[in-house]
Amino acid sequence: MSRLPKTASVVIIGGGVMGASTVYHLASRGYKDVLLLEREKFFGTGATGRCAGGIRYQFNTEVNIRLSQKSLPMIDAFEEETGQSVLVQKCGYLFALTREKDVEVFRKTVELQRSLGVQTEWLTGEEVRNIAAPCDFPDALAGSFNAEDGLADPNSIVMGYINAARRHGAVCITDCSAIGIDVKNNQIWKVQTSLGTIETKTVVNACGPWSASLGKEISLEIPVFPLRRQWFVTEAIQELPEDFPFVIDFAQSLYFHREGSGLLTGMSNPNEKIGDDQRIDSEWELKHIESAIQRMPLLGNSGIQARQAGLYEMTPDAHPIIGPTPVEGFYLLSGFSGHGFMQGPICGKLMAEILIDGEATTVDISKLDYNRFAEKRLIPEYNVV
C-alpha cells in the first residue's frame, strides 16, 4: 500500500468511477501530487460496483444527452487510452412505452435527441413486440430504440483509470477513510483520515451516495440522498437470443439485459425510503419476480444465480452537481441519480478541466451547479430507471 503523503495539491475522496476518472484526468494532464482516498479494501465497491453496467444516449435533457455524446465514445476508446479492456457490448436500449403520457414525453425526447445528432429510432407497438421478444408486450403503444446504447464493465473502468493514474504519478489509496475536514477562513485546509492528516487547499467530494455525510463535516448541506435499488441474475436461459437488447418497461421501471448466458433484471421500488441500507429487500424481490415473469414468461423456468443491492445517489432533479461550493476549495462531483457509471469518463474529465483551467469546456455544464437548488433552477430528467 502507498504511504499517505503529508500534503497534496488535490485530495479526491471516494474511489468509485467518479474519483477514479478524476484522478486519471488530473494526473494524465501532468497535475502533480494528486491523491485519491477510498475507505473500503478495494476501489469501486460502492454504487459503481453494484451497478447494472448500462450505457445509453437516450436521455430527456440536452445536458444529459451531451454528456453521453462525450462519455460513450470515451468508453469505446478506453482500451486504446488506458490499456484496459472494458467489454463494451452494443446491444441497444429499447424503451417500451405502455402509457399515453410516456408516449407523449418520449416522442419529444426522441426529437430532441435527433436534433442533437443522436440517431434514436421511434417504434410502433408492433415493432416493440418484435424487438423485445421473448419479452411479452401486448400493451406496448410505442417505444424508442438506439442501437449504439449497450453495456460495459464498471470494475474495468475503475481499475483502468486507477492503474493509468498511478503510471502518471498519482497516489491512490484504499482502506483510508476521510473522517474530518478542517476549514480556515472558509477555505479548505486539511483532510483528517484514518491514516493521518493531509494538508491541501482542494478537496473533491466523490463519495457517491455518501456525499452528504462528508458535507456535514464542514456544515455544508449537499442535496444528494441514498436510495436503494436492486437486481438479480438468472441461471442460463437457452432461449434468449444472442442479440437481445437492454429492454426497459418504462412504466414499471423494470429492465432486462443479457448477463453471460443468463439474464439480469432490475426493478425500482417507487416506495423505497431514503436510506443507506444495502441489504436485499426480499419482499420487493418477490414483487419484482412476479412482474418480471409476467413480462418474460420463460423466466418462470429459471433459478436465481446472483443478486445485488446498492444505492443510487439521487438529487431533487436527477441531475448531478459538478463544480465548486460555497466553501472555497471544496468541489462536488456527485448526485448522478442512477446513471453515473456511464457519465463517469466525461465527468472526471470535466472536473479536471474545472480544477486546472478554471472551467469545464468539453461540455457546457453551467446548469449543473450547486446553487441551482437554492435558486430553484431545477432541470428534471424524465428518463430515470
Contact in structure between 66 and 116 (CB atoms under 8 Å) = yes
Question: Using CA atoms, how far apart are residues 283 and 304, in angstroms rounded to an integer?
Answer: 15
Find the shortest distance in angstroms from Cβ 238 to ligand FAD: 25
Find the shortest distance in angstroms from Cβ 53 to ligand FAD: 5
> Of 307, 317, 313, nearest to 275 (Cα)?
313
Q: Site for ligand FAD (CB under 6 A): which residue of 17, 36, 94, 181?
A: 17
Residue 209 contacts ligand FAD per CB under 6 A:
yes
Residue 368 contacts ligand FAD per CB under 6 A:
no
Find the shortest distance in angstroms from Cβ 50 to ligand FAD: 5
Q: Site for ligand FAD (CB under 6 A): which residue of 336, 345, 370, 372?
A: 336
Cis peptide before 73 (omega within 30 of 0): no
Question: Using CA atoms, how far apart are residues 124 and 231, in angstroms rounded to an integer?
Answer: 28
**In the complex with ligand FAD, which residue's Cβ is closer, 16 or 223?**
16
Contact in structure between 313 and 214 (CB atoms under 8 Å) = no
The helix/strand/coil state of 351 is helix
The helix/strand/coil state of 235 is coil
Q: Site for ligand FAD (CB under 6 A): which residue of 26, 27, 37, 162?
A: 37
DSSP state of 137: -
Q: Site for ligand FAD (CB under 6 A): which residue of 338, 348, 354, 365?
A: 338
- How many CB atoms within 10 Å of residue 243? 10
Residue 258 contacts ligand FAD per CB under 6 A:
no
> Of 14, 66, 22, nearest to 40 (Cα)?
14
Residue 349 contacts ligand FAD per CB under 6 A:
no
Residue 53 contacts ligand FAD per CB under 6 A:
yes
Cell 466525461 sits on residue: 346
Q: Site for ligand FAD (CB under 6 A): which residue of 310, 329, 345, 348?
A: 310
Specify the stretch interacting with ligand FAD by CB under 6 A; choose among 205-213, 232-240, 280-288, 361-369: 205-213
Q: Using CB under 6 A, list all residues that contact ligand FAD.
A: 13-19, 37-40, 45-48, 50-54, 177-178, 206-210, 214, 229-231, 310-313, 334, 336, 338-342
